[in-house]
Amino acid sequence: MRIGVLTGGGDVPGLNAAIRAVARRAFYYGWEVRAIRNGWAGLIEGNIAPLTPNQVSGILHVGGTILGASRTNPFKDKALVRSCLDNIEAFSLDGVVAIGGEDTLGVAAKLAEMGAPVVGVPKTIDNDVSGTDYTIGFDSAVALVVDALDRLHTTASAHHRAIVVEVMGRHAGWIAVIGGLAGGADYIFTPEVKSSLEEVCAHVRRRWEQGKRFSIIVVSEGAQIKEIMQSEEELGDKDEFGHVRLDRRGLGETVAKEIEKRTGFEARCVVLGHLQRGGSPTVFDRVLATRLGAHAVDLIKEGKFGYMAVLHSNEIDAIPLSEAMSQLKTVDPKLHELAQTFF
Ligand code: F6P
């Protein structure tokens, strides 16, 4: 047997741990492994080479991905889909493990529907893939956010300021809500719950009157804020999956300026950006990546193509990719409600 492995979309800490697990499980079964470079681009171009035991040695704790990544979408052109299917044949791949988020796994689901021997492993710092309790990378990203909030608390309190912390999270506010809960945020803006600047300003004023002369406000880059709705055109070009670049929105900076203008209290903004995607994976992400990666190979062994390895109630299981892709996993309203208790 020979399998290929690829990583697509934004990188996350834990990808190398997952690649290592896929390869090591395959070697354990006596199979060969091929590295498909730069996500779906590598399958389109035939940028595929042997992945050896030496290449996956010493990478468990390393951030990034030894395979490279891209946001290439083969479904923007039928000829590219054909190239993917042809290269699976040409390189004699009996299975392909696609490690990705909604976009990469969406492609995997469609290829599997066309009969390609593809299985999925969910990763994204956004944690918004359905059917799995956690995606690889989320825990590491949120650990960075909490560390940042701890540091920002002390400087905000020393200077009696509001500090707005912009975090990633395109369609779902998992990083903002879990990071904010663990880091003691005083207000959280997310894509799921439409809030307003007036609300946050009233809250900052109330805290001031109570003698708390600082506030930490967490804002998801994709948050919905009544007074700051931007059209997609304003945000510029889209990627191959139709997403605009949310870092261009400058949402955190706008919120900080508005708070200062409306309350008269000094405010600053910190954008955590790609720091959230860097560094070594946490213990949780290393183990999650190892369990999911190994299970993906087992799915190929069982001929369960079109499935995605998932974590469900601390057990590793699998669900059809089509089911996982049918909707995004947004933040449980109970968590939003819990967070509000501490505003
Ligand atoms: O898709 C995951 C993600 O981290 C989003 O939260 C964010 O909007 C996007 O990637 C940023 O992507 P890029 O690296 O292309 O700027």
pLDDT tens profile 5-63: 999 999 999 999 999 999 999 999 999 999 999 999 999 999 999 999 999 999 999 99
Cα 32 to chain center, whole Å? 29
Q: Give residue 235's pLDDT.
A: 80
- Burial (0-12, 13-18, 19+ Cβ within 10 Å), 300: buried
Atom number in ligand 1 closest to CA 12: 4
Whose C-alpha lies nearest to ligand 1, atom 12? 10
Whose C-alpha lies nearest to ligand 1, atom 9? 10
- CA atoms within a 13 Å half-sphere pointing along the CA-CB vector of 160: 8
Q: Give residue 237's pLDDT.
A: 87
Judge whether 300 and 28 are in contact, CB under 8 Å. no
Q: Give residue 207's pLDDT.
A: 96
| Active site amino acids | 126
Q: Are strands 48-50 and 162-167 parallel, antiparallel or unpaired?
A: unpaired
CB within 6 Å of ligand 1 — which residues? 9-10, 101, 124-126, 168-170, 221, 246-247
Chain segment 216-266, per-residue pLDDT in tens? 999 999 999 999 987 777 788 899 999 999 988 999 999 999 999 999 999
Cα distance between residue 157 and residue 205, in whole Å = 15
Sign of CA dihedral 341, 327, 311, 21: negative
- Banded pLDDT at 165 (limits 50, 70, 90): very high
Q: What is the mean pLDDT of the chain?
A: 97
Percentage of residues in the chain having pLDDT higher than 70: 100
Whose C-alpha lies nearest to ligand 1, atom 1? 10
